Amino acid sequence: MTTSLGERPSVAVVIPTRCQIAEVAGRPRRLVDDCLEGLMAESETVDLEVITVLDADVPGDTLDKWRQRLGSRLLTLSSPLPFNFSKKVNMGAAATQADFVLFLNDDIKPIQPGWLAAMTEIARVPDVGAVGARLLYEDHTIQHVGHAYAYGAAFHFDAGQRVDPNKHWHHGLRQVSGVTAACLMQRREIWQRSGGFDESLSNNFNDVEYCWRLRRQGYKVMQLNDAELFHYETKTRSTGAAMWEIERIEGALGDQLTGPDDFTPEAMLPRESRFPVSRQLSRALRRVFTS
């Protein structure tokens, strides 16, 4: 992957992490190590800063080996419990003066080099508010190629399916309703101007609300499928959306969720591929309406 970056932009990568160990490809891995290793490969194209935001109960020396490699480019912050994703990423973004901020889950592992510079190149366009990447599950099926609003919910396009050469929304660059905060790039000034992530949405739907707010402020949200990474989703946190979270996002977006939205022809949402952003959304709704 090549880009046209004329100079080395400064990029702060904000990683909320508990430094947990999980099984990947049949063996235990500390996921943040793979994430950071992938970032090191990108340090020749950008002026890289890494900000890890740890839960308060994670020992401060957990990332010592990365301090030795990154030196002053690694900043470690401590976030009070209970876990609040939005608060963590806001804390990280507030701690940097970099031109760009990449919000990145610790269970992300790059697949090919050049993705970070490519995302930065799109994020520097003045009317672009956020850029997402194509994320795959461990089995190489799709986790994320953009959000869509339809049928009263926010969806990941074709989650759980294989990348299809005949589906244009699996490839290239396109405008979408939203992108996952598991890998979201933007200029730091936009994060400041927008007010950051809504900390009342501590776990689920914070990225849906954030991208909706960016679009209301006149920015485009772009999905860059040429930037491809693994996302070992839910290996580092519990799954499930609470009913108050569902009600909160429905209250915020209202009729926007009835869709299809401006970027999603209905033909792109075949019934068998309608996966909610929270995989537990349909289960939660079934519990409510069948109890």
CATH number at residue 83: 3.90.550.10
Q: Is the pLDDT of residue 275 over 50?
A: no
Residue 58 lies in a domain: yes
What DSSP line would sit under 38-72, residue for residue?
HHHTTTTTSEEEEEEEEETTS-TTTTHHHHHHHGG
32 in Cβ contact with 233 (< 8 Å): no
As a whole number of Å, the end-to-end CA separation of the chain is: 51
Structural domain span for residue 105: 10-290
Residue 5 lies in a domain: no
Tell me the pLDDT of the chain averaged across its residues: 84
Tokens of 161: 């399916």
Residue 2 lies in a domain: no
Residue 132 lies in a domain: yes
Residue 199 lies in a domain: yes
Scored b (16 or more CB within 10 A) or e, 122-136 reads bbeeeebbbbbbbbb
Predicted confidence band of residue 277 (pLDDT cuts 50, 70, 90): very low
What length does the chain have? 291
pLDDT the model gives residue 12:
98
Predicted confidence band of residue 1 (pLDDT cuts 50, 70, 90): low
Residue 1 lies in a domain: no
Global model pTM greater than 0.75: yes
pLDDT per residue as tens digits for the range 208-264: 999 999 999 999 999 999 999 999 976 555 556 667 676 676 666 766 665 566 777
Question: How much is the average pLDDT of 265-278?
Answer: 51
Residue 219 lies in a domain: yes
Q: How many domains does the chain have?
A: 1
pLDDT per residue as tens digits for the range 78-95: 998 888 999 999 999 999
pLDDT the model gives residue 287:
39
Find the range with the poorest average confidence among 156-165, 180-189, 249-258.
249-258
Question: How much is the average pLDDT of 45-71?
Answer: 89
Question: How much is the average pLDDT of 140-161?
Answer: 83
Predicted confidence band of residue 60 (pLDDT cuts 50, 70, 90): confident
Between 192 and 4, residue with greater pLDDT = 192
Residue 273 lies in a domain: yes
Of 37-51, 241-255, 276-290, the range with the highest mean pLDDT is: 37-51
Q: By CB neighbour count within 10 A (0-12 exposed, 13-18 middle, 19+ buried), where does 190 fall? A: middle
